[in-house]
Structure 1
Amino acid sequence: MTNPHGSFIWYELMTPDPDAAKSFYDAVVGWDIEAQPAGEMDYRMITIPGAGNAGGVLRLTDEMQSHGARPVWLGYLGVDDVDAMITAVEHAGGKTLMPANDMPGVGRIAMIADPQGAPLYIMKPTPPPGNESVVSDVFSVDETRHVRWNELATSDPDAAITFYKRHFGWHQEGDMDMGDMGKYRFLQHGGVAIGAVMPTTSASQWRYYIGVDDIDRAIAAIDAGGGKVVEGPHPIPGGEFSLHATDPHGTAFGLVGPRKS
């Protein structure tokens, strides 16, 4: 893939029940998650009907959960050199959660935690034969059924911003005052607004906001599917609304979209 170093190139839901995830997210977002895995590993593509893929779903096995894995959404950052990035992350105070390994036909991948503890993948993808110039479009600032915003809640916003600017080529410009909660500081990459950083007193983590066609329709689907709206919907600049929610397994995610009713 030819996305610049530091781009979000994939999103993955880790869950103990991919079948339940398909039922829930297909209804909420409008996806068509694969009903069955294509290979030996239970990994299913999140497909956007008529528009490619939005990410993947990995089944959490009992063994994974016995080693501490929990249901979570994780983002993948494309990097020029996975091993060099692991070294840089560790020197900066971060950790390697999963050592680098090569996945045939997919690429070289590792899981890290930034210096404040927020986990994410880093990856040097292998482009499809004959399509070496392919670009990942799983992140979009305005398309429904794609991740549209990447939000980092962190124990140390200043240090986190310095880390991602230095190692992934991001920028930080502009903010919004949240009163006692501090500042909501906007992030850019390649001139595109990709998300924001905010302070938290809880564990540092990323939250990903998925675009939907109608926030009220999505809320009804969350309720019907056994999920829970935790906060919102709140109006955001541009006339749309955002919310925080959890799926039936307690996995946190966000939604953003218009209100049509």
Structure 2
Amino acid sequence: MPIEDAFPHGTPIWVDLQSTDPPAAATYYRELFGWEVGPPLPETGNFSLASARGVAVAALGPLPSEDVPTMWTAYFAVDDLEAAADAARTTGGSILLEPGEPVPGVRLAIVADPAGAVFGLWQRREHNEPWLRDEPGAVDWLELVAPDPESTFGFYTSVLGVGISEMRVGEQPYGLFDVGDTSVAGAYTSDGSEPASWLVYFNVADLDAGVVRATELGGTLRTEPLSAPGVGRWAEIVDPQGAVFALLEPEPEPV
């Protein structure tokens, strides 16, 4: 199983869900992905830790205030939290949660890029907790979805130190955020009908079965399944509390 415990500057390091109804959300994702979800704990800000096969996958918790929508948030590792937050300020972003330690041992900030997409900055520790990735039920990919993602590339280069490259998904260009030789996230041009956001993709072994299960449990299909050579098949889902996420059945590796 791909277990990550090293997070170079600019790489994804965590995701969490902030929901209007954390117990109902915990039930939904437990039944959808087979997660083990622990109880909410005061020392973790009343978030519950979700794991698969004994390895942490995500956290589920309450909204910080009534004016924040239910949403998945992606976090990126940074070497210096204050420096990254300052870079966000000076390159057109905004700080939604100032750098700090909201729970013991976790230093983070919540920011919005110039297009309004919200994400987290997380200062790495010397010894990081392992994170399960790229397995059924675990995070597989992260994607910036915005009307003009290219306009934010300078922001992300400054804040996260990522490089920018491009691939083709079908006939369309698709932006990539790179750390060294590894692409760690993507950037997709939306039609502009929705606010810019970061979309979290969860790996599934069978997309069709995953979509059926997600909707049977009370979720809503947001986009019909799509596919692309070299990528796989995916669909976007809205959970019962309104958070958007995606299911991805990766294309099998060549034998």
TM-score normalised by the shorter chain: which range applies?
0.7 to 0.9
Q: Give the secondary structure class of the aligned counterpart of 2:122.
A: strand
Deviation per CA, 1:221-247, whole angstroms, max 9, x where unpaired?
112111011113222334731111100
Choose which of 220, 238, 246 in structure 1 pairs with 2:238.
246
Secondary structure in 2 matching 1:87: helix
SS in 2 for 1:164: helix
Change (3 A) 1:176 1:86: same
Deviation at residue 188 of structure 1 after TM alignment: 2.3
Alpha carbons of structure 1 residues 104 and 118: separation in structure 2 relative to 1, 3 Å: closer
In structure 2, distance between residues paired with 1:84 and 1:188 = 20
Which consecutive unaligned segments of at least 5 residues does structure 2 have? none
Superposed CA RMSD: 2.4
Q: Does 1:183 align with 2:182?
A: no
2:50 to 46, 51, 73: 46
Deviation string, structure 1 residues 124-174 (Cα, Å, up to 9, x no partner)? 14x4xxxx4446434x3x322221111111233222122212331222222
Matches of 1:3 and 1:136, distance apart in 2: 10
Say if 1:236 and 1:242, in contact at 8 Å, map to a contact too: no
Q: Is the Cα–Cα contact under 8 Å of residues 79 and 122 in structure 1 kept in the other structure?
A: yes
In 2, the alpha carbon distance for the partners of 1:104 and 1:220 equals 37
Matched, 1:19 2:19: no
Amino acid at match of 2:159: H
The offset of 1:2, in angstroms, is 4.4
1:107 is displaced (CA, Å) by: 2.3
For 1:137, the equivalent position in structure 2 comes to: 131
In structure 2, C-alpha distance between the alignment counterparts of 1:160 and 1:258, rounded to whole Å:
27
- Find the residue that maps to 1:231 and give its secondary structure: coil
**What residue number does 2:209 align with?**
217
**Normalising by the residue count of structure 1, what TM-score does the alignment of the two structures yield?**
0.85
The number of aligned residues is 245
1:196-240 Cα offsets, whole Å, 9 max, x none, are 112231311110101112212211211211101111322233473
Counterpart residue number, 1:233: 225
By how many angstroms is 1:103 displaced?
3.8
Per the TM alignment, residue 114 of structure 1 is displaced from its structure 2 partner at its CA by 0.9
Q: Secondary structure at the match of 2:140?
A: strand
Q: How does 1:54-203 map to 2 (within 5 A)?
A: 54-60=57-63, 64-65=65-66, 68-103=67-102, 105-125=104-124, 127=125, 132-134=126-128, 136-138=130-132, 140=133, 142-176=134-168, 183-200=173-190, 201=192, 202-203=194-195
Q: CA deviation at 1:9?
A: 0.7
Name stretches of at least 5 consecutive residues in structure 1 with no aligned partner: none
Label 1:177 to 1:235 Cα distance change in 2 as closer, same or farther (>3 A): closer
Instruction: Note closer, same or farther for the CA distance 1:111–1:49 as it changes in structure 2 (3 Å cut).
Output: same
Partner-residue secondary structure (3-state), 2:76: strand
Distance in 2, Cα, partners of 1:77 & 1:239: 23
| Aligned residues with identical type, % of pairs | 26
